[in-house]
Amino acid sequence: MADLRGGIDLGGTKIQAAIVDARGDAVGQARQPTPTKGGPEDVAAAMATALREAAQDAGVEPAQLAGIGVGSPGDADERTGVVSSARNLPGWEGSFPLAEVLAKELGTEIKVGNDVQVATEAEFHLGAGQEFQSLIGVFWGTGVGGGLVLDGRPWLGRGAAGEIGHVVVKRGGAKCPCGRKGCLEAYAGRSAMEAEARRQHEEGHKTDLFHLMEKHGKPRLTSGIWERALDNGDHLAEKLIDRAIEALGTGVASAVNLLDPEAVILGGGLGVRFGERLMKPLTDEMGKHLFADQRPPVVRVASLGDLGGAIGASLLFSR
């Protein structure tokens, strides 16, 4: 059993746990909704439940695992296992010793890493990025997150590298959820796109987005709702997706100009859903800003799907 590891992907809406073998295959998995009320203790309890269920699915006890990795939003300190400012989680504005609490609860060692960085490393080791030595992971979802692998190794900077969502694509531009202006995420993040759609809808622009949302019983404009609206030729949805692609092309090309990686791996809810469909406009948009435009990086859609984050978290025990 010592070659089995646990991985937990802590998301804003769901907690995905997996038990992963030495080859990187998930041999057990479970999912819990992320608590919407309470505080970090409640989130940690739900994480422990998800992991226990995944372990049961794999036929092991959590304490038999070689360790459990956690991919966390917010500021996740790999050295201390403390997670701070995870603002999309309930009551998590401050710091919480997540690794320590989970280790007590589950009886094995816990390592904590940034959610997007570990998902990028999973794509590098096991997914769409396996043949490359350097890549940028771009996770286009509720926000826009990024991860870096350079020369075959994760690049964490001083702990906050890879924040491609906050690369500035327009000085003095739209307000970003981070509080600053003109970030990529302010144009391409799902929650920023939803806020803009709502604003324009209230101003009288016609769109079917919110009607579709209600009809399908969704609490928000999910990637599936955006896709339906595009399929129906919804003008506002098309306009906002175009705007997002323009911002993504600009921001990603700027990052490529700085690092010159071999590949860009596009993941996240929107990235996976629209990656193939919008690959041409995205790479065209990037091409406008690439300095070495005669040899652009390979752009590929992430291949590990929903389990990529949890599998990546388990890899914190093989770095």
**Closer residue to Zn ion, CB minimum distance, 127 or 182:** 182
Distance, in Å, from the CA atom of 211 to the CA atom of 219, rounded to the nearest integer, reads 12
* Shortest separation between residue 11's beta carbon and Zn ion, angstroms: 19
* Shortest separation between residue 187's beta carbon and Zn ion, angstroms: 10
* Shortest separation between residue 25's beta carbon and Zn ion, angstroms: 36
Q: Binding mask 199-238 vs Zn ion (x if CB under 5 A, - otherwise)?
A: ----------------------------------------
**Closer residue to Zn ion, CB minimum distance, 80 or 84:** 84
**Closer residue to Zn ion, CB minimum distance, 67 or 147:** 147
Cβ neighbours for 167, distance < 8 A, ≥ 6 positions apart: 183, 184, 251, 254, 255
Distance, in Å, from the CA atom of 134 to the CA atom of 154, rounded to the nearest integer, reads 9
Specify the stretch interacting with Zn ion by CB under 5 A; choose among 18-26, 49-57, 169-177, 242-250.
Answer: 169-177
* Shortest separation between residue 171's beta carbon and Zn ion, angstroms: 13
**Closer residue to Zn ion, CB minimum distance, 116 or 122:** 116
Angle in degrees, CA 76, 57, 8, rounded to 5: 5
Residue 176 engages Zn ion in binding (rule: CB under 5 A): yes
Residue 183 engages Zn ion in binding (rule: CB under 5 A): yes
Of residues 127-166, which lie at the interface with Zn ion (CB under 5 A)?
166
**Closer residue to Zn ion, CB minimum distance, 9 or 185:** 185
Amino acid at 8: I
* Shortest separation between residue 178's beta carbon and Zn ion, angstroms: 3
Residue 178 engages Zn ion in binding (rule: CB under 5 A): yes
Residue 83 engages Zn ion in binding (rule: CB under 5 A): no
* Shortest separation between residue 165's beta carbon and Zn ion, angstroms: 6
β-strand pairing of 5-10 with 14-20: antiparallel
Residue of 295, 296, 273 lying closest to 283 (CA atoms)? 296
**Closer residue to Zn ion, CB minimum distance, 139 or 317:** 139
List residues near Zn ion by CB under 5 A.
166, 176, 178, 180, 183
